[in-house]
Amino acid sequence: MAGTIDLNEPRGAARDTQDRAAVDVVRSKWPAKVLYGPGQVDPMESLSPTGRNILAAAHEVLRRDGFAGLTVGAVARAAGEHKSTVIYQFGDKAGLITTLTDSLIANMRSQLLPFVDSIASDKPRAETLLRVHRRIARDSEYWRALFDLLPHITRDRRLHARFAALMDWYYEVVLRAIGLYDEDGDNGEMNLLASLILSVLEGLAMQRLLMGPRGFDLDARFRLWESVITPFIEDLAAERSSQRSMPEDEA
């Protein structure tokens, strides 16, 4: 088990240090494809120091100027590098966007997986997952960046395929978090549930951005969502447990 994780939203360097430490603990316990998604390697660790500097600059340009301002030249200037260096590291703008998308998903992973690993067997798994989702929904900078990228991801076949694969990975993480992932079976129907859970997170995050934090009671909405989805998840878990305990000739 990972150590006790503070859900009170530490900020800045303190949160980064906490997340990295917690992720280090779970790395040895989770399959690589669960930790890192498609490709089964950490996309951030594969970057050189120069690549990481350029990626950080790209995040800043996206935050400041939106997608329209996210050009190779603008990123090069923000990073203090030549355009040729950016092209060498990422190929083209599409390659840069792919890595940006990976880094955003990695950010969510770094927040989610340590909490999933810290869920005790006697604790409500759905409740813990939704507490993490509530924290993620408050990360306005993350959602602005993602929503800036999404329209362009859907129009680019390479990016579309990459993001679709990342979504499949995220469904698996959600199902593992709530104890409904089947290592040996077909998770097709359960993926529908994971998709719904993720849709609520994304929808509430978008509404919060549109309405503003002060005019949007995120906690009240998550409490209502928890009251609806938790009994459903518990019933599914009980049904699955009952099926597994049945003799084979009765199953």
pLDDT of residue 239: 84
Q: Residue 160 belongs to a domain with what CATH number? A: 1.10.357
CA distance 1 to 6: 15
Answer whether residue 213 is part of any domain: yes
CA distance 139 to 204: 12
Average pLDDT of span 109-123: 64
**Domains in the chain, number:** 1
* pLDDT higher at 162 or 127: 127
Answer whether residue 19 is part of any domain: no
User: Shortest CA distance to 137 belongs to which of 40, 222, 246, 235?
Assistant: 222
pLDDT of residue 118: 64
Answer whether residue 7 is part of any domain: no
The contacts of residue 9 (CB under 8 Å, 6+ apart) are: 15, 135, 138
Answer whether residue 11 is part of any domain: no
CA distance 61 to 101: 14
The contacts of residue 134 (CB under 8 Å, 6+ apart) are: 218, 219, 222
pLDDT digits (tens, 9 = 90+) for 190-227: 999 999 999 999 999 999 999 988 889 999 999 999 99
Answer whether residue 138 is part of any domain: yes
Answer whether residue 21 is part of any domain: no
Answer whether residue 63 is part of any domain: no
Global pTM reads: 0.74
Mean confidence (pLDDT) of the chain: 78
Domain carrying residue 179: 92-245
Output DSSP code: residue 68: G
Least confident of 15-24, 32-41, 99-108: 15-24
